[in-house]
Structure 1
């Protein structure tokens, strides 16, 4: 294996059908890739399903990996991330109230007191506090765009708002976040 990219050789062997190489690749990368999946999916069960589907795709597509274009971990992370976003988009294509999408995500200032923020990093705490300062539609639009990976068009449909308005909410929300975090 190359010192530069320890997983590239394992992917090459996977492309040749080497199941031991795949098992080794899985064992060495599952922790990081599960973290990527969990961050996007938010629930352990969904993250595990995405991870399983992602590894199937990694096995099937190992022959398409090009070490000249990306590192192996970057390539695999992209597969997991894209699968997770596809699953989220499929959830969001069903008619759901916007409030229900953010259920369990405490962004209201009253519910984000110091007692609830002690277990998270300073950076995360600052982002949450700044998100609390945004207007509701700006906050929803920014979260939908940057946290859930939705397009402006998807957000427009979901919030039943004109596309230009959604773009303005996202742009202004990001500007306010940037100023708040400075």
Structure 2
């Protein structure tokens, strides 16, 4: 088991978690999301999306969260359960890593594709200066979006998954299924 708890309250969580996949299987890597009242939906989504890069672990003042803040946690944990087979048994590919010159002050965006023959999970994080379109190539086959974590646009087009950052520090998790797969 590995845990990146030393970085659990920093913006670098997804960068470290993606790099860790080269050393430790995601199913053996605890990824922490610290959730505190008043952080806002975008920040909660950013942190929760990071947990899809390993084993979801939650901390913070969860008991003090308001109903809207709790709702994104419920959505994330429910979606995470549906992604577990891919997280546990899939293969990973850090498909685009445009984090700039420093992990401490990331710019651009990164995506991690974790896939099996029937399903794929794409985790995308936008950092500073991340506005605009992103694209992640999917394995060969007919893919469709089954579920998304946030409201960020994400569609399958031309063998890849494409989406649009509307601002900085956004994240999206997309569960894709191959033709004929269901949740």
Q: Please give the range of the TM-score, normalised by the shorter of the 2 chains.
A: under 0.3
Which has more radius of gyration? Answer: 1
Bigger share in helix: 1
Bigger share in strand: 2
TM-score using structure 1 length: 0.25
TM-score using structure 2 length: 0.25
